[in-house]
Structure 1
Amino acid sequence: MCVALLVLGLLGVLAWVLLGSRLLVVRSVEVTGTELVPRDRVVATAGIRLGLPMVRLGTGSVEARLERMREVESVRVERRWPATVRIAVRERVPAVAVERAGRFYQLDRHGVTVADGASRPPGLPVLSVASPGPTDAATLAALRVAGELPRELAARLARVEAPTPETVTLRLSDGLTVVWGAPGRAAEKARLIETLRGSAAGRGARTIDVSSAEVVTTR
């Protein structure tokens, strides 16, 4: 009986410490991984009340709220006992810019809009498709092609156009146009482009067509 009472007493103390006392409550919120979205906005969206018992924090619901932010690709919320909540954000990375009605919308590799502004973001190629967005096949094809380019070629990419998913065209900063075609075979096509540019036949070409890697043409 005494042992049982002792156990019940310890459980009662533990419950009080976890749920009723001020010993294990949220006193600070730590945010990591943010560049696009301000920390204060993350904290406000998370909606974590200071003074809330740590054990009552619903990390899943906090993560769900944060993942609705357009800049956030994924997030992990952790309790750091005794009194800190850590929010680790993985932001979406802008891959291209789309111009509409005088504004530039930055899209990530999935076609999701990450940010927008009045000026073209430096370093991002411009995407030209009929209906840009995460469910548009032409958008996804163009983003896949841009994402598969070798670093040297990607650094020269100024514009990517995709009237259809099978007709992706690249405009490079040095004036060269590359008719890429459908996504795939990126390493092989990139080698063909560099080989042609170094050859006598391709040295003066303004357009290289590698849409069919078996039959490459220049003009």
Structure 2
Amino acid sequence: MTLDPFSERIRSERRRRWIRIAIAVLAVAGLGALVWLIWFSSVLAVRDVEVAGRTTLKQAQVLRAAQVPAGRPMARVDLEAIEGRIAALNRVDTVEVSRSWPRTVSIRIVERKAVVWATVGGQVRGIDRNGIAFRSYGSPPKDLLEAKITLTDSRDRVQTFQAVAEVVVAITGQDPALLRQIRSVSAASKDSIELELDEGRTVVWGSSDKAERKLVVLDSLLAIDAARYDVSAPDQPTTRE
């Protein structure tokens, strides 16, 4: 029996509709399977943890602090929580935690680095670029400058240590010859930093601002025979015998 064109068109449209429905059902089923695979199955669960960048910290210390949940689906691992726990370690400066699919959590650490040392609470402590006293030494390290700061308020002390560290970092990077002349750095506040040079000379540095300009001015001033050089206001430097 031959169908008339109208009936054939209806049948064709019906077939296309069922095909579209079947495709939609398959797509939903596929999406559901994918969600289950990523979020709930053990196929993409945590199996390994990689730690990079540590120098003084032990692998076990980092892993113990990280508390990475082994066996949990990778997509459900709280990376920020892991970062927060590792960042609480005294020697950690920065940390980044990421997923390395299919089954590895990667931890990249940058440890704090001592810029100067100071006596804090009767102990020789290493101070990092942020003014944090993060480690102890049995004796003063010979490769670091001493920061002489006697502030008792912890917040003021950290800010002053940070300012001193910024000055030392600037001098280290821009004027190594001057660095070799410095015996110690002292400060009564973050805005009153002084460099104690060899031969009994002193540089009044002031705050950590305008370090580059101060170095240029100081380079010229040191040609003058003086006991005290003041570059705290670099556009109006002074010397004193």
Report the TM-score range of the alignment, normalised by the length of the smaller protein.
Answer: 0.7 to 0.9
Alignment RMSD, CA only? 2.6
SS in 2 for 1:138: helix
Aligned length: 215
Matched-pair contact (CA < 8 Å) for 2:151–2:188: no
Q: Judge which range, 185-194 or 53-62, deviates more.
A: 185-194
- Equivalent residue for 2:184, pick from 136, 152, 159: 159
Q: Judge which range, 95-104 or 139-148, deviates more.
A: 139-148
Q: Which amino acid aligns with 2:124?
A: F
Q: Judge which range, 39-48 or 14-23, deviates more.
A: 14-23
Task: Say yes or no: does 1:41 pair with 2:61.
Answer: yes
Task: Say yes or no: does 1:29 pair with 2:37.
Answer: no
Structure 2: distance between partners of 1:44 and 1:24: 23
Task: Say yes or no: does 1:182 pair with 2:207.
Answer: yes
In structure 2, relative to structure 1, the CA distance for the partners of 1:75 and 1:29 (3 Å cut) is same
Q: Judge which range, 172-181 or 84-93, deviates more.
A: 172-181
Larger radius of gyration: 2
Q: Which amino acid aligns with 1:57?
A: V
CA drift at 1:210: 2.8
Alignment of 1:1-219 (within 5 A): 1-131=21-151, 133-136=154-157, 137-149=159-171, 150-152=174-176, 153-172=178-197, 176-198=201-223, 201-202=224-225, 205-213=226-234, 214-219=236-241
CA drift at 1:161: 0.6
In structure 2, relative to structure 1, the CA distance for the partners of 1:38 and 1:172 (3 Å cut) is farther
Q: Which runs of 5+ in 2 are unaligned?
A: 1-20
Matched-pair contact (CA < 8 Å) for 2:86–2:92: yes
In structure 2, relative to structure 1, the CA distance for the partners of 1:210 and 1:49 (3 Å cut) is same
In structure 2, relative to structure 1, the CA distance for the partners of 1:128 and 1:5 (3 Å cut) is same
Q: What's the TM-score once normalised by structure 1's chain length?
A: 0.82
In structure 2, relative to structure 1, the CA distance for the partners of 1:87 and 1:134 (3 Å cut) is farther
SS in 1 for 2:62: helix
CA drift at 1:59: 0.7
SS in 2 for 1:159: strand
Matched-pair contact (CA < 8 Å) for 1:70–1:112: no
CA drift at 1:20: 4.4
Deviations 1:42-63 (CA, angstroms, capped at 9, x unpaired):
1211100322221121111111
SS in 1 for 2:194: strand
**Aligned-pair identity (%):** 29
Structure 1: distance between partners of 2:77 and 2:199: 54
Structure 2: distance between partners of 1:155 and 1:175: 14
Deviations 1:133-189 (CA, angstroms, capped at 9, x unpaired):
554443343333333323322354331111133321112356542222233332333
In structure 2, relative to structure 1, the CA distance for the partners of 1:135 and 1:67 (3 Å cut) is farther
CA drift at 1:5: 4.0
Matched-pair contact (CA < 8 Å) for 1:182–1:211: yes
Runs of 4 or more consecutive aligned structure 1 residues displaced over 4 Å after TM superposition: 132-135
Q: Which amino acid aligns with 2:212?
A: A
Structure 2: distance between partners of 1:173 and 1:69: 38
Deviations 1:49-105 (CA, angstroms, capped at 9, x unpaired):
322221121111111112222222322111110111111223333222111354211
CA drift at 1:206: 4.2
